[in-house]
Amino acid sequence: MIVTRFAPSPTGNLHVGNLRTALHNWMWTKKHGGRFLLRIDDTDGERSEERYVAAIRADLAWLGLVPDGEERQSARFALYEARFAELVASGRVYPAYETPQELDLKRKIQLGRGLPPIYDRAALALTDEARAKLEADGVRPHWRFRLSADPIQWDDLIRGAQRFDPATISDPVVRRADGSWLYLLPSVIDDIDMGITHVVRGEDHVSNTAAQVQMFEALGAAPPAFAHEALLTGSEGKLSKRLGSLGVAHFRDEGIEPQAIVSLLARIGTSDPVEPVVDPAPLIAAFDFAHFGRAPARFDEAELAGVNAKVIHQLPFDAVASRTPAGMTAGGWDAIRPNLERVAEAGDWWSVVEGPIASETTEDDRAFLAQAAAVARELDWSADPWHALTAALKTATERKGKALFLPLRRALTGRDHGPDMTALLPLIGRDRAVARLDDAAG
């Protein structure tokens, strides 16, 4: 059974990079019929806010990524305490007493000597007396995880074989002097406790993974599989600040449909082409970490807008009915849909159907339009009135092509282009069509 988790910290709104990670976790789980968990990483009580928890839930729901369960780290401190105590007892976690200033000075000295700024483990070398003295002086330790010297390796589902020499990494701090938790250890404790089989996250976490692989082992668990995806870049090709502020609120304002986000984010950065779909089933079926590339995935808002239009052209009326103008019918939606880039534009085209419209006629077209009104009045409106109208006028006037169609379109819709007249004219109906042609004929 596959179990994944999406683990945001509720310290802000989800941005497009987060949405992509959530989506991939969800898709992988759906593909295998597993469980997708939302884990709220709220150990930082000061920066975490309830409104962001609510926003995270709402954003996932909007995208259709419904979690099979939700957990909150703030409700799990007792477990962290217990597992932490085990690691302290086994010597894998140790107290360290340096102040930030002392650590900073050490780093500067190392860098000055051309050495990598790796923690020197001075805390491990403290004698019992020295430690007792620090404690007596009221110095509260922070806590570090002691990395073992064994090489760290894992087969990343995206990056392939990964190898780290622990000697190149500082023993990570897992708990602050005030007792609060850093992200690394609670995450591992939770991944074990929740039976997480796959950790899917951004490649900015690769060095965390190196340390976490050893934490899993120190806690007696086999590490899960890891998939670290290349980060998103903006259309200009650079890691952009703007991406960090693009989230669901922005996309909704822009008239972007959730299916467009899903379609695009499922595929960018992979070898599979972007396919605009309403139902993600084919994307899920084809989802494969082996198709992900190592190069950054390019997120382009113009591409998203294009995908969005193609999604809208497939959306059935019942999916959009609540957002379309009153009185609009499924037939109306089907006629207008191919012309939309946003659902909100449906109202504009519907007003063309219902009128009133304003049209301008050139002198040359007046007689022609008067003739059109006369033909329209007599037409059998039940079949294909546009075809019947234009065929009759073509024979009667010898007009063809643009000279035939454009004055009619202008007179009937007030515009030079728009939805297919074959679909639109039956919606406009005989009475309105005749009146508009009469008006235009002047």
Residues that bind ligand GLU (CB under 6 A): 7-9, 41, 183, 187, 201, 205
Q: Which helix (H) or strand (E) holds 436?
A: helix 421-441
DSSP result, 162-221: EEE-GGGSPPPEEE-TTSPBPSHHHHHHHHHHTT--EEEEEGGGHHHHHHHHHHHHHTT-
CB closer to ligand GLU out of 146 and 205: 205
Residue 227 near residue 289, CB atoms below 8 Å: yes
CA separation for the pair 320, 312 (Å, rounded): 9
Write the DSSP symbol of residue 42.
Answer: -
Q: In sequence order, what are the residues at sequence separation of 6 or more whose Cβ sits closer than 8 angstroms to the Cβ of residue 154?
A: 162, 209, 213, 223, 226
Do residues 344 and 323 make contact, with C-beta atoms less than 8 angstroms apart?
yes
Contact 162, 168 (CB under 8 A): no
In the bound state with ligand GLU, the residue whose beta carbon lies nearer, of 7 and 353, is 7
Least distance to ligand GLU from the beta carbon of 248, Å? Answer: 17
- Nearest approach, Cβ of 31 to ligand GLU (angstroms)? 19
215 or 328, CB closer to ligand GLU?
A: 215
* CB-nearer residue toward ligand GLU: 9 or 361: 9
Q: Which is nearer to ligand GLU, 205 or 337 (CB)?
A: 205
Residue 350 CB, shortest distance to ligand GLU, in Å, is 43
Minimum distance from residue 30 beta carbon to ligand GLU (Å) = 18
Q: How far is the CB of 129 from ligand GLU (least distance, A)?
A: 40
The per-residue b/e assignment along 84-115, b for 16 or more CB within 10 angstroms, e otherwise, is: beebeeeebbbbbbbeeeebeebbeeeeeeee
Q: Which is nearer to ligand GLU, 184 or 346 (CB)?
A: 184
Smallest CA-to-CA distance from 140 within 175, 184, 181 is with 175
Question: Which residue has the closest beta carbon to ligand GLU?
Answer: 41
β 3-6/35-40 pair status = parallel
* 199: alpha, beta or left? (left if phi > 0; alpha if psi -120 to 50): beta
Contacts of 371 (CB under 8 A, 6+ apart): 393, 396, 397
**Residue 187 C-beta: closest distance to ligand GLU, Å:** 5
Shortest Å distance, C-beta 201 to ligand GLU = 4
Task: Supply the minimum distance, in Å, between the C-beta of residue 209 and ligand GLU.
Answer: 9
Closer CB to ligand GLU, 41 or 301, in the complex: 41
Residue 162: strand pairing partners: 154
C-beta of 229 vs 301, nearer to ligand GLU:
229
CB of 349 to ligand GLU, least distance (A): 43
* Alpha-carbon distances of 322 from 76, 259, 268, 332, 346, rounded to whole Å: 41, 17, 31, 14, 12
Q: How far is the CB of 168 from ligand GLU (least distance, A)?
A: 21
- Distance from the first to the final alpha carbon of the chain: 73
Decide whether 7 or 268 has the Cβ nearer to ligand GLU: 7
Spatial contact of 271 and 293, defined as CB atoms under 8 Å apart:
yes
The answer to whether the peptide bond before residue 356 is cis (omega within 30 degrees of 0) is yes
Nearer to ligand GLU, 26 or 183 (CB): 183
